[in-house]
Chain A
Amino acid sequence: MTVLILTSEEDVTADMVVVHLNAAGVPVVRLDPADLTGSVALSGEFVHGAFRGHLSSAGRLVSLDSLRSVWVRRPGAAAARAPEPSAWLTEEASQALYGMVRGSEARWMNHPDAARRARHKPWQLRLAQRSGLPVPATLITTFPQAARDFAERYPDLVVKPVSGAHPQDPPRAVPTTRVPPGADFAAVAYGPTLLQRRIAKRADIRLTAVGDRLLAARKATCADGDPEVVDVRFTPSTAPWCPADVPPRLAESVRTYLREAELAYGAFDFAEDADGTWWFLECNQSGQFGFVEVDTGQPIARTIAQWLAGAPSRQGARPADRCGSAVP
């Protein structure tokens, strides 16, 4: 039984997992959907009430009914590198590939439907609340007056993108940024704006969840750092990530979140305040983990490999079953 990994060639983080799968003797087929019609090919036949499908990549051929799991890591858009790419061809190739793989009994990390839903930050915030995770007061609005009222109630605010995406024309980054006192909120009318009460944090927490296993890491806030810079991704720091224990009640809430979201993998970001409370910021359903493992030595890649090496789901399994723990 084979593990199918959908990701780009340069994804060296995926390599960290492939190394463990190789060591365990688990067959792997790794391909980038962007290479469809080039080095990647597919075929599926629906005949006499049965389905037989195959994928090939770089000389490897795999039957879809021999897949034990599918890891959707950093795949390119289907057929993006075809000789004559087009939006139409990408849609055709995407439907053919994902449509056929969906028909297999493989377990997904993460299922495309769950992944698409889990990317919505407003949905994340609501699910975190329902799961019992502390969520900072947040407003998403296009009403300037609502923003002004919110700023009166919570004078110390940060602004961040609703989607987490960064504008590309020209390429810019929109880090989580402190809103200065007296800010003019008129421009809130020109795009949904996410304002959130700033957590005076003493550390950033990255909690990586793989099935039922939770691996948390903590990075202390630099004591003499710039108080205006609140986004750890854009903060130059030499402080390493260190392993951290997950408070039991918070672990229970995180598992509730994952179960409700039907996610087998999630990278949670929290801000730890002076009282030691972990405030939920977001859950990246395909968040990076290599930088944490490199600093902490936590066996995240090995844990992912073990999850992927688990048995495929039984036919007709419900989504929640597909996302359960199956570490052999």
Chain B
Amino acid sequence: MKPFALNYARPAAELEFATPYAYDPGLQLNVLLDGRIAARDHALLRELGTTTSTAGSKTHFDD
């Protein structure tokens, strides 16, 4: 009784990982350990993939 599309399902990639930044409620921004704004570090964002089109797949399907 498995729907046809699920014949092509694969295990979800593990997206849970520790990010090197934390949310600062005062700034309303995520901040790196050295105090820099994470969003300004594009090389880091590229490396982490936290802005990619699969980043929100677990809870959102508007990727």
Contacts and interface: CB of A to CB of B under 8 A. Distances in A.
Interface of A: 5, 9-10, 12-13, 15-16, 18-19, 28-30, 39, 58-59, 74, 76, 119, 147, 159-161, 163-168, 170-175, 177, 185, 187-188, 190-194, 206, 232-234, 267, 284-291, 293-295
Given A15-B39, A171-B11, A284-B62, A193 B5 contact: yes
A290 B12 contact: no
15 contacts: A5-B28, A10-B19, A12-B38, A15-B29, A15-B39, A19-B39, A163-B61, A172-B6, A172-B12, A174-B8, A175-B8, A188-B3, A191-B6, A285-B62, A291-B49
Contact of B57 (A5, A30, A173, A285): A173
Nearest to B15: A171
Contacts of A232: 53
Contacts of B40: 19
Nearest to B1: A190
Nearest to A191: B3
Nearest to A14: B39
Contact of A193 (B3, B11, B26): B3
B54 to A, nearest CB: 5
Contacts of B33: none
Nearest to B42: A294
Given A10-B19, A30-B28, A159 B8 contact: yes
Interface of B: 1-13, 19, 21, 23, 25-26, 28-30, 37-40, 42, 45-46, 49-63
Most chain A CB atoms below 10 A, which of B3, B55, B62:
B62
A36 to B, nearest CB: 15
B10 A173 contact: yes
A159 B6 CA distance: 10
B33 to A, nearest CB: 15
A159 B5 contact: yes
Contacts of B12: 166, 171-173
Nearest to B23: A9
B51 A13 contact: yes
Contacts of B25: 39, 58-59
B30 A12 contact: yes
Contacts of A76: 59
